Every structure is written in structure tokens, then in C-alpha cells.
Amino acid sequence: MCTLCPRNCAVSRADGETGVCGQTNELKVARAALHYWEEPCISGKEGSGTVFFSGCSLHCVFCQNEQIANGTVGKIITIERLAEIFFELQQQGANNINLVTPGHFIPQIREALLLAKKEGLQIPIVYNTGSYEATEALRSLDGLIDIYLPDFKYMDSTLSKKYSHAADYAKVAKENIKEMVRQTGTPVFDENGEDGLLKRGTVVRHLTLPGCLEDSKAVIRYLYETYGNQIYISIMNQFTPLANVEAFPELNRKIKEEEYEELVDYAIGLGVEQGFIQEGETAKESFIPDFDCVGV
């Protein structure tokens, strides 16, 4: 019975049943390729070896990757094939293996990582998540994940219930990020220091939403006051209004430049020094990759 996320659907995925994530126990992957649009310490020049898993336990109304979140695209593969994909990305020169929305496949991913590491996989493993897993499931990955790349989407339960159907989101995210930091410790970079690639650590992302500036400030304040220099904070302005937000007119616009600047200035005023910001025009559909099963 599946309890990998706080939804606690308790369905028998091994028997072909699906819960909120929309997936059975069969691994389903939508894309495996080099990706150049993560934080500089993740992508570098060579790219991050991203593996996009189909399905999601959150289903945010503004999802930028709706094709894979709803599970309509993707190819079913074996655990052995997933391990092979890791090696193929390493051979392509990837700086790391970047597991995107992996929470509902944690047991299978764990087996694939154990197999690949046993056979000589060497590059760091990045766990890229919306932060809505069961904390106990994350504990099963201890020692296998080098870099955690979690979202902290909301502090306000009203917002998280409205936009992600999860009133308990902040509580869950807090518990999970605490576990992630426990596993990775303080950030460790390669020989180029902070200008190089991250080898170990946690980078917490926050996507600024239209009209939610005060909640964004609350998120940044919590992260900095709780973790200080134990983490990096990535403040993102790339929110792209797609057709799926037409029913939410307050979200149906891009972030204004002055909104984002106010949030960045707020973070600096708090004392945040270990962070990333986005510059230029990032709110474009062209930044959303094609989920065409390439590399799968």
C-alpha cells in the first residue's frame, strides 16, 4: 500500500492501481538528456543529466511541466534500464544525474542507484523535488543522494491548498528540507570553489508567484533564519502563465520586475549571501523542454 507521499492514498500500485501521482509501480520516464537551465553550480557548462519522471503528487494549478505531471507522456522502463540511463548521461559528459519529480518512484530509484554505484557510477546525484514526499521515504535515500534541490513553494496554507491542493505543504516541506540538510551537510564545491560545481549540499528553490510577495518573503525569512549558510537559496522569477491558469486570473500574468527586485532586496536585507537570482527574460515557454522520451 503506497504511503510515499503525504496523500497516503494507500493504493496497491504493485497491482496496477494508481493514486494521486497517477502512476503504478512501473517506472515511467519522459525524458533523459543534458539540461543547461538549472542553477550554474548544477548545470555548469556541460549540462546536468536530467531524468524527468512521469507523474506527480502535487499537481499545482500553474505547473510548467503539466505533460509529465499528469502522466500523459512517458515510457515504461525497468530498474536496470534506469541504471543504464545514468551511465549514458555520465558518458555524455553530464556534471551530475538530476532526478526530477522522483518522489513516487523512490524505491525503484534507490535500487537503480545502488546498482549503478556498484557498477561504477561516479558523478553526483541530484534529487530535484517539489518537497511533498513522506520524510521516511527520503530517509531511505540517505547516503545515495549528494545534492538536494527542493522547492519551498508556500508558507501560507491557504495558498498551498488553493494552488497545490495541499494545506499541509509548508509543514511537510519544513520536515523534508530538515532531513535533506541532515543528509548533505553544508555545501561542498569542486576545486573552483563557489564559482564551480556543487558536489554536495542543499539548494532550496522558491518560485515567485504573482500577487504572493508577502508569502515569498515569509519563505525566504524562514529558510535564512533556520539554516543560514547551511544551504543556498535560489529565488526564481521564471513563472510562466500557461493555459492551465486561465481559471485563476490572479496568476495569469508574469512577475513584474519591481516585485522580483523587492523580494531580492528583502533577502539581501535579511543577510542572505549564499543564493542565486535570475536575470533577463526567463518566463518563456521555450525554457520548458520537450517531453518526447529522448534518451529513454
**pLDDT at residue 110 in the model:** 98
The secondary structure of residue 36, as a DSSP letter, is: -
The secondary structure of residue 19, as a DSSP letter, is: -
* Cα dihedral sign, 153-158-162-164: positive
**pLDDT at residue 9 in the model:** 95
User: Which pTM value belongs to this model?
Assistant: 0.96
One pLDDT digit (tens) per residue for the chain, 296 residues: 999 999 999 999 999 999 999 999 999 999 999 999 999 999 999 999 999 999 999 999 999 888 888 888 899 999 999 999 999 999 999 999 999 999 999 999 999 999 999 999 999 999 999 999 999 999 999 999 999 999 999 999 999 999 999 999 999 999 999 999 999 999 999 988 888 999 999 999 999 999 999 999 999 999 999 999 999 999 999 999 998 899 999 999 999 999 999 999 999 999 999 999 998 655 444 456 778 899 99
Q: Set out the domains of the chain in order of their start, with CATH numbers.
A: 27-287 (3.20.20.70)
CA distance 55 to 183: 26
CA distance 248 to 282: 21
CA distance 92 to 76: 22
User: Is residue 210 left, alpha or beta, with left meaning phi > 0 and alpha meaning psi from -120 to 50?
Assistant: beta
Closest-CA residue to 37 (of 45, 29, 27): 45
